[in-house]
């Protein structure tokens, strides 16, 4: 049964959730108000009955007193006997209309019938200790001839020179008139309450219609826009409640605009940059077909061109992936030192082939970053350092935890950076060496910026007596991520 009620409540909640805001407000206001009106009408009906009973009980008491005034005591063989001369017509003055009927019964000192209707059920109650009337009277509900009646019982002392005693007078009245009056009060109240509900519904509808007008206008403005129109929404007259929604829409459109701009730039750069190696490849194939070069030389040149185009395509895809990772939200927590050691191990054969004096020193540095982005960053910087270091040169990689920042320094013994090349070196397709795609440092810059860090390239002075060049230091600074603390009561 509990699960059934839970399922019903869930279905009702889903149904209400699909309604419009206006319908939800109307339902949310009118439903409880309607229930309150229903409970109030139910209570009012019984209060009206009680008020009508109080009013008509006075008439019953007046009828009983009028009958009591007609009683006297007569001596019947030395025994005082109660005598009543009450015609039924005496009660007509107390009948409200022909919808109600009154009957009475007078019982003597010993309970014998003196006058009235013998089949009226006898009274077996008791007089209330504290009544509201200055008389020995009791009121109760009973049934007479299968019809509900209201009965007043009056204990009337009767005294005469022939004797004295206590007479019991019962006056009963049918309830049609009382119920009719209570129904009239209830109907009048319900009509007034219905009118009140109608006024509330109209006011809510008008208020909601006016309050939701900015929402409808905003919806029409957005619908009327072109598919590529991602300009921010300007709605100075919008209510304060819509400000978070407008801000969120503008932020989403801004991200979408950046993504579209990146995609357009990627397509433009790809079409421009891949056109050259493809044209070279076509010339090389035509030259090989004409026999201008030997077969092996032609194959080697074609292979070099394919390798360059493949490297260019991979780097362009990597640059596009950086933007995709930027849109994915919060990155996971990673230990940068593990990534640096893994990349150094992967490039160990390349370092060994160059005969470099390699040094690796790392400290644990927790940072927030995607594993692929961290690996690509370290791989590009280390690969560039290996590529530009002369044979038997020096190459060092150090990773330091400075408390609030993690600093990666990759130092080579290459020629460094020419001053004329420094301003544009990190721009896409700006290469510092012949044959390079010019995307490695651009990828590194995008990765570092997406992680809230800094990338710098610094020439260093040559050591005294060193045969190698001055060299270059690539520094990357990323914010240290604080691991979440375990709760005090967490198990150890």
Q: What is the pLDDT of residues 139-176, one digit of tens each?
A: 998 999 889 999 999 998 888 777 788 889 999 988 88
Distance CA 327, CA 349 (A): 35
Q: What is the pTM of this model?
A: 0.46
- Which residues, other chains included, contact 361 with Cβ-Cβ below 8 Å and sequence gap of 6+? 396, 397, 398, 399
Strands 357-362 and 394-401: parallel
Say whether 25 sits in a helix, a strand or coil: helix
Parallel, antiparallel or unpaired: strands 472-479 and 113-116: unpaired
Q: How confident is the model at residue 249 (pLDDT cuts 50, 70, 90)?
A: confident
Architecture of domain 333-479: 2-Layer Sandwich (3.30)
Question: What pLDDT, on a 0 to 100 scale, did the predictor assign at position 5?
Answer: 47
User: Strands of 472-479's sheet, edge to edge?
Assistant: 357-362, 394-401, 405-411, 472-479, 454-459
Query: Which H or E run includes 479?
Result: strand 472-479
Encoded tokens for 399: 């990773």
Per the model's pLDDT, the better-predicted residue between 259 and 398 turns out to be 398
Tell me the pLDDT tens digit for each residue of 379-431: 888 988 898 888 888 899 999 998 889 999 999 988 887 776 666 565 554 45
Average per-residue pLDDT for the chain: 78
**Block residue for tokens 């219609």:** 209
The candidate with the shortest Cα–Cα distance to 59, out of 125, 146, 150, is: 150
Q: Which residues contact residue 389 at a Cβ distance below 8 angstroms, ignoring those fewer than 6 apart?
A: 354, 356, 395, 412, 413, 414, 468, 471
pLDDT over 70 at 4, yes or no: no
User: Residue 366 — pLDDT band, cuts 50, 70, 90?
Assistant: very high
Q: Where are the domains of the chain?
A: 67-177, 212-329, 333-479
CATH number of 67-177: 3.30.450
- For residues 216 and 323, what is the distance between their CA atoms, to the nearest angstrom? 35
Q: 222: part of which helix (H) or strand (E)?
A: helix 213-223
Helices and strands per DSSP (H, E), number in the chain: 10, 14
Q: How many residues belong to the chain?
A: 492
């Amino acid at each position: 049964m509990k699960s059934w009620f839970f399922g019903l409540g869930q279905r009702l909640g889903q149904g209400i959730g699909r309604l419009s805001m206006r319908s939800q407000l109307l339902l949310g206001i009118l439903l409880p108000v309607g229930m309150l009106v229903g409970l109030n009408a139910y209570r009012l009906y019984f209060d009206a009955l009680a008020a009508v009973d109080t009013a008509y009980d006075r008439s019953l008491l007046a009828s009983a007193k009028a009958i009591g005034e007609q009683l006297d005591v007569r001596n019947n063989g030395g025994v005082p006997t109660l005598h009543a001369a009450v015609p039924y017509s005496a009660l007509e003055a107390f009948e409200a209309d022909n919808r109600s009927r009154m009957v009475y019964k007078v019982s003597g000192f010993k309970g014998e019938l003196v006058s009235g209707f013998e089949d009226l059920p006898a009274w077996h109650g008791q007089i209330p200790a504290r009544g509201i009337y200055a008389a020995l009277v009791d009121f109760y509900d009973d049934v007479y001839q299968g019809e509900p009646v209201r009965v007043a019982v009056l204990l009337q002392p009767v005294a005469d020179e022939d004797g004295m005693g206590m007479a019991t007078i019962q006056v009963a009245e049918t309830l049609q008139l009382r119920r009719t009056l209570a129904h009239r009060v209830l109907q009048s109240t319900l009509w007034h309450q219905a009118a009140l509900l109608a006024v509330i519904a109209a006011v809510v509808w008008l208020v909601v219609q006016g309050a939701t007008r900015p929402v409808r206008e905003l919806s029409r403005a957005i619908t009327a826009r072109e598919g590529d129109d991602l300009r921010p929404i300007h709605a100075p007259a919008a209510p304060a409640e819509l400000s978070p929604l407008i801000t969120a829409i503008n932020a989403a459109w801004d991200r979408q605009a950046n993504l579209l701009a990146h995609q357009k730039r990627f397509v433009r750069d790809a079409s421009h940059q891949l056109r050259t190696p493809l044209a070279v490849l076509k010339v090389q194939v035509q030259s090989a077909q004409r026999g201008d070069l030997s077969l092996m030389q032609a194959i080697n040149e074609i292979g070099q061109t394919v390798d360059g185009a493949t490297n260019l395509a991979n780097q362009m895809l990597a640059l596009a992936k950086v933007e995709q990772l930027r849109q994915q939200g919060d990155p996971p927590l990673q230990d940068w030192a593990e990534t640096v050691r893994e990349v150094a191990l992967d490039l160990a054969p390349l370092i060994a082939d160059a005969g470099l004096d390699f040094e690796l020193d790392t400290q644990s540095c927790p940072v927030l970053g995607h594993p692929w982005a961290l690996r690509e960053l370290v791989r590009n910087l280390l690969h560039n350092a290996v590529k530009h270091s002369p044979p038997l040169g020096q190459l060092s990689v150090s990773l330091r935890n400075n408390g609030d920042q993690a600093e990666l320094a990759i130092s080579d013994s290459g020629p460094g950076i020419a001053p004329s090349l420094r301003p544009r070196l990190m721009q896409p397709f700006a290469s510092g060496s012949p044959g390079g795609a010019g995307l490695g440092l651009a990828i590194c810059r995008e990765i570092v910026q997406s992680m809230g860090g800094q990338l710098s390239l610094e020439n260093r002075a040559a050591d005294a007596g060193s045969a190698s060049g001055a060299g270059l230091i690539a520094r990357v600074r990323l914010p240290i991520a604080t691991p979440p603390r375990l709760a005090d009561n967490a198990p150890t």
